[in-house]
């Protein structure tokens, strides 16, 4: 293994790092950042290592994550002695049906292959890293203010963050994430706990720390596994079994239900599904407001009167 570059900054240089590269860090975070930079032999002035502080104004959630730039990653990898960079371009899985403002090129995933040398045989083998667009692209929810309550709510619309390079160079950004995945897979001792900035762009948008975004992704995967990622879990009263209804179908299905069922059953359905209805409100407040009006009208309408036997006998159609 190659020797780590000598890390020897003067007091003046250390102060300059604190004032520039690490200006968002408090004292403890700055000390940790400098120790990691020293241990990895990376130069903050060259942008090889960067501190990223999440929730800067919230003491309970505040957390720093260490970012290693692409140059820094390759510096560390090259020192390992058993690393060779990719010998071919990243490969991409594309789906034209996914093309949209949220995914300009319809990218499903990117895969990068690096080379690692077997210490016993000396032979080189490929180490793959794969990243999926839906897991790393910085897609953010659109929020608006409710004029009546003054509270913010999700409009149901989403946008791809355009403050970085994801809109301009989507292939490059997802490939950077895949390369970091490969580095962690092949050289875990050197890269565990370190992140590429492209990996954290999504975290910046939704204000999650590195560990939180991993848990966030696990939760999304759990929802996808049960078909609930983009759906509302609802019961229709048939033995109170649960059904995952796609968000786009929920309004029509709910309206159909409340129009044909008696007021008492509609009221019972509403009470049993308060949380799903709140979730629908967060996703589509306009449709949710209309659904609320229809619910109230359905519950308020008089129940149909059942005709008595005498009324049936005296009905003109029943006359002998």
Highest mean pLDDT among 197-211, 217-231, 276-290: 276-290
| Bridge partners for 84 per DSSP | 115
**What pLDDT, on the 0 to 100 scale, is given for residue 237?**
75
Which of residues 232 and 113 earns the better pLDDT score? 113
Beta carbons of 37 and 6 less than 8 angstroms apart: no
Which residues in 241-259 are b (16+ Cβ under 10 Å) and which e? eeeebebeebbeebbebbe
Residue 316 has pLDDT above 80, yes or no: no
Mean pLDDT value across residues 127-156: 85
Q: Taking 90 as the threshold, does the pLDDT of residue 217 lie above it?
A: no
pLDDT tier for residue 144 given thresholds of 50, 70 and 90: confident
Name, of 63-67, 237-241, 283-287, the range with top average pLDDT: 63-67
Check residue 200 and give its pLDDT: 80
Q: Is the pLDDT of residue 25 over 60?
A: yes
Interval 30-38 mean pLDDT: 91
Q: Where are the alpha helices (DSSP H) in the chain?
A: 11-19, 27-40, 70-79, 133-136, 170-186, 188-191, 197-206, 210-225, 247-260, 263-272, 274-283, 285-300, 309-314
Paired with 124 in beta bridges are: 117
At 309, the pLDDT band (50, 70, 90 cuts) reads low
Instruction: Please tell me the predicted confidence (pLDDT) of residue 3.
Output: 45
Question: Quick one: average pLDDT of 274-294?
Answer: 80
Of the listed ranges 15-19, 285-289, 298-302, the least confidently predicted one is 285-289
């Amino acid at each position: 293994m190659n020797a780590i570059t000598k890390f020897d900054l003067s007091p003046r240089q250390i102060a300059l790092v604190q004032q520039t590269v690490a200006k968002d860090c408090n004292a403890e975070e700055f000390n940790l950042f400098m120790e990691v930079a020293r241990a990895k032999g990376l130069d903050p002035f060259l942008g090889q290592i960067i501190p990223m502080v999440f929730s800067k104004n919230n003491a309970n959630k505040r957390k720093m994550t260490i970012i290693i730039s692409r140059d820094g990653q390759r510096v560390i990898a090259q020192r390992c002695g058993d690393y060779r960079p990719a010998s071919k371009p990243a490969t991409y899985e594309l789906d034209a049906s996914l093309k949209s403002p949220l995914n300009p090129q319809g990218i499903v995933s990117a895969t990068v292959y690096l080379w690692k040398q077997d210490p016993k045989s000396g032979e080189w083998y490929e180490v793959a890293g794969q990243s999926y667009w839906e897991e790393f692209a910085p897609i953010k929810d659109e929020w608006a203010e409710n004029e009546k309550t003054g509270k913010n709510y999700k409009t149901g619309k989403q946008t791809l963050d355009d403050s970085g390079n994801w809109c301009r160079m989507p292939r490059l950004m997802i490939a950077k994430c895949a390369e970091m995945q490969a580095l962690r897979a092949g050289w875990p001792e050197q890269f565990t706990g370190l992140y590429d900035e492209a990996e954290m762009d999504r975290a910046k948008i939704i204000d999650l720390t590195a560990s939180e975004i991993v848990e966030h992704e696990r939760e999304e995967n759990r929802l996808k596994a049960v078909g609930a990622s983009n759906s509302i879990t609802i019961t229709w009263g048939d033995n109170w079994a649960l059904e995952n209804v796609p968000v786009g179908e929920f309004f029509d299905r709910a309206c159909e239900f409340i129009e044909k069922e008696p007021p008492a059953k509609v009221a019972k359905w509403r009470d049993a599904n308060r949380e799903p209805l709140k979730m629908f409100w967060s996703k589509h407040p306009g449709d949710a407001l209309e659904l609320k009006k229809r619910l109230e009208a359905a519950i308020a309408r008089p129940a149909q009167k059942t005709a008595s036997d005498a009324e049936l006998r005296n009905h003109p159609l029943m006359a002998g």
